[in-house]
């Protein structure tokens, strides 16, 4: 298995989400994402597209003002 992790604060996303978007805008694009609060008072979203793609997910990190600060996309290939 090969795993590729991409973490870059300015990386354009695979569904058009960009750094600076609001939490609500990202939730509209990823309605299946699970929201949680971070230790620093910000917000996070975790998204896994389906059981058919267990090695692919995205995590989004938001500032306290609810704007997207960065995200991590992970892909695993057999």
Alpha carbon dihedral 7, 1, 36, 44, in 10-degree steps, equals: 10
Element (H, E) at 72: strand 68-77
- 0.75 surpassed by pTM: no
pLDDT (mean) for 14-34: 85
Q: Tell me the per-residue pLDDT of 30-78, one tens digit each, with 9 for 90 and over.
A: 888 888 888 888 889 888 776 666 666 788 899 999 999 988 877 665 5
């Amino acid at each position: 298995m090969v795993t590729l992790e991409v973490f870059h604060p300015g990386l354009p996303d695979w569904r058009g989400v960009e750094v600076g978007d609001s939490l609500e805008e990202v939730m509209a694009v990823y309605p299946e994402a699970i929201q949680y609060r971070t230790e620093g008072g910000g917000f996070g979203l975790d998204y896994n597209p389906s059981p058919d793609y267990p090695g692919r997910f995205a995590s989004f990190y938001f500032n306290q003002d609810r704007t997207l600060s960065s995200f991590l996309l992970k892909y695993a290939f057999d």
